[in-house]
Chains A and B, each alone.
Chain A
């Protein structure tokens, strides 16, 4: 019998206890234990430990407790399955929430960029236009914000301006005035450092020439310089109203863009009035009153005619004309002034 305090094979006692030694090694150690007291003691000690620890009490359930636990388990498992969908939905929440957030940020960023470029704000950019040279046209253009200014220095050109937004402006600067476009096709001819001819094929333009009232030209309207020139020449203005150069419908004063005007003696009368030719003005306005009976400017023409007579120095005649105004337009806007004129004789 081997008697010693240490044995190099003692570790095999735990190995054989744990089932780690198999086959020849297991048989060899069994033979070794028979002659090694150290290993024999180790084997016995491990077996004793296992035996003692097997005494550790084990909890168990009675059949009734088992059924109760089983029922409770299945209830909880059922609830777990039922609520699993909700939990999974909440787990998915961050995914779609993040997706929505990213989309919102992208859309917001796009809007901000678009706004910064002015893409989405109607009319924040200058109106687009095309110019066709018809006869030695000379022009320059400049855009500032939503306003485009084209300066026509000479020649004849055809313009096509896209329909403008409310805050967009397209101004054609002429040597003797300007022409504002509201989305249209028109033709302008210059001659002798002045506007000679304007023809509108689509839309509306406002023609503002120095020394002349603003004119609104609609589709089909044409304007010719001869229609307003030489206002001081007796008879010429009246002739210009019916000028052979005027083709199509006559131009309409600004503010009357929707109606078709009669020969515009009203505009010529106003021009003559501003020029101080009150007799000529009265004559033109009288003509207008007789010819354009349905024109809404009848009230203004009627009143202005009385004023022109008054400016001519004929107070009595002015009073009569004022009375005529009051008779025709008893609730007219010029009633107070007309009453003053009527009382002045």
Chain B
């Protein structure tokens, strides 16, 4: 007997969201499969302690059922998820209860270059470490815009919609983020 695997029709992100809004957990699983990588990468680049990234990724997707009705389809679902993630991260930072977890995470947090492959050369590892340190020195709001636009290739308009700010504010933050980063990168490594 030959068992044929029947492929499930690929649902659009909008369909997935409407199913999630109706309480379909299977749809939430599909959304997680599609976007977990980028959401985790985005949150990790916002300066969250590695030990807390997975939790914040989950919190981001847990916010989807309640926020699904606000997705208007004008921006990509990916950038919309970045907006949810940014809110989750801000909420996380505001939580004073997280301070202790931060301290514990920092105490055991390895240096950033551990995320690099061991075969990368020393120069690349040093450059990556310098970039990470510079990025961490940006303010949260500038970092959100910079990561979203430069590292995740989100358009300025989508970033503005995702973050709920005017497009002009996005350009302003980008301008200052670039200026500060170039200054930071020119500084000698301590």
Chain A 13-37 residues near chain B, CB threshold 8 A = 14, 18-20
Q: A19-B156, A50-B150, A69-B58 known; A56 and B135 CB under 8 Å?
A: yes
Whether A57 touches B116, Cβ cut-off 8 Å, given contacts A69-B58, A72-B58, is: yes
Q: How far is the CA of A69 from the CA of B43 in the complex (A)?
A: 15
Cβ–Cβ < 8 Å partners of B105 in chain A: none
A73 touches B32 (CB 8 A): yes
Contacts of B14 in A (CB 8 A): none
B121: shortest Cβ distance to chain A, in Å? 12
Q: How far is the CA of A70 from the CA of B182 in the complex (A)?
A: 38
Q: Is the CB of B37 within 8 A of A74?
A: no
Say yes or no: A60 contacts B135, CB within 8 Å: no
Task: Say yes or no for A331: interface residue by CB 8 A criterion.
Answer: no
Please determine whether A73 and B171 come into contact, CB atoms closer than 8 angstroms.
Answer: no
A78 within 8 A of B: yes
Assembly CA distance A19 to B50 (angstroms): 32
In the complex, the answer to whether A18 meets B156 with C-beta atoms within 8 Å is yes
Which range holds the interface residue count of chain B?
Answer: 35 or more
What secondary structure prevails in chain A residues at the interface with B?
A: helix
Question: Closest approach, in angstroms, between the C-beta of A26 and any C-beta of chain B?
Answer: 15
Q: Is B77 an interface residue (CB 8 A)?
A: no
Q: B residues within 8 A CB of A81?
A: 23, 25, 65
Q: Could you say which residues of chain A place their CB within 8 Å of the CB of B134? A: 53
Whether B150 lies near A77 (C-beta < 8 A) is: no
Judge whether B40 is part of the interface by a CB distance below 8 angstroms: yes
Interface size on A, residues (CB 8 A): 30
A45 at the interface (CB under 8 A from B): yes
Q: A56-B45, A72-B58 are in contact. Are A61 and B37 (CB under 8 A)?
A: yes
Q: Contact between A73 and B45 (Cβ–Cβ < 8 Å)?
A: no
- Contact check, B185 vs A52: say whether CB atoms are below 8 A apart: yes
Q: Report the minimal beta-carbon distance from B116 to chain A, rounded to whole angstroms.
A: 6
| Contact A52–B127 (Cβ < 8 Å) | yes
In-complex Cβ contact of B181 among A49, A60, A66, A72 (8 A) = A49
**Contact (Cβ within 8 A) B36 A70:** yes
Find residues 56-91 in chain A having any chain B CB closer than 8 Å to their own CB.
56-61, 65-66, 69-70, 72-74, 76-78, 80-81
Give A65 to B53 CA distance when docked, in angstroms.
13
Q: In the complex, what residues of B have CB within 8 A of residue A19's CB?
A: 155-156
A55 touches B128 (CB 8 A): yes
Name the distance in Å between B129's Cβ and chain A's nearest Cβ.
Answer: 9
In the complex, chain B residues whose CB is within 8 Å of the CB of A74: 25, 28-29
Q: Judge whether A53 and B150 touch: CB under 8 Å.
A: yes
A46 sits at the interface (CB 8 A): yes
Tell whether, in the assembled complex, residue B185 and residue A49 are in contact, meaning their CB atoms are under 8 Å apart: yes
Is B87 on the interface with A (CB-CB < 8 A)?
no
Option from B28, B32, B36, B151 in Cβ contact (under 8 Å) with A56? B151
> Is A54 an interface residue when CB atoms closer than 8 A count as contact?
yes
Are A59 and B131 within 8 A (Cβ)? no
- Which residue of chain A has its CB nearest to the CB of B126? A55
Chain B residues in 8 Å Cβ range of A56: 45, 128, 131-132, 135, 151
CA–CA, A57 and B41, complex, Å:
9
Q: How far is the CA of A66 from the CA of B37 in the complex (A)?
A: 9
> Which residues of B, 58-114, contact A by the 8 Å Cβ criterion?
58, 61-62, 65, 112-113
* B1-31 interface bits toward A, Cβ cutoff 8 Å, 1 = contact, 0 = none: 0000000000000000000000101001100
Is B137 at the interface (CB under 8 A from chain A)? no
A14-B174, A56-B128, A74-B28 given; A61·B62 CB < 8 A: no
**Does chain A have a CB within 8 A of B162?**
no
Contact yes or no, B28 A73, CB < 8 A = yes
Q: Would A59 and B113 count as touching, CB distance under 8 A?
A: no
**Does B187 make an interface contact (CB < 8 A)?**
no
- State in angstroms the CA–CA spacing of A212 and B118 once bound together: 127
For the complex, give the distance between the alpha carbons of A14 and B150 in Å. 12
Docked Cα-Cα span, A45 to B181, in Å, equals: 11
A71 nearest CB neighbor, chain B only: B29
Interface centre among A45, A56, A61, A80 (most CB of B within 10 A): A56
B residues touching A (Cβ–Cβ < 8 Å)? 23, 25, 28-29, 32-33, 36-37, 40-41, 43-45, 50, 53-54, 57-58, 61-62, 65, 112-113, 115-116, 124, 127-128, 130-132, 134-135, 146, 149-151, 155-156, 171, 174-175, 178, 181-182, 185
Q: Can you name 25 A-B residue pairings with CB atoms under 8 Å?
A: A20-B156, A49-B178, A52-B127, A52-B130, A52-B131, A53-B135, A56-B128, A56-B132, A56-B151, A57-B112, A57-B116, A57-B128, A58-B41, A59-B115, A61-B37, A61-B40, A65-B54, A72-B58, A73-B61, A74-B25, A74-B29, A77-B61, A77-B65, A80-B65, A81-B65
Sorted nearest first, the 3 A-B pairs with minimum C-beta distance are A57-B115, A59-B44, A55-B128
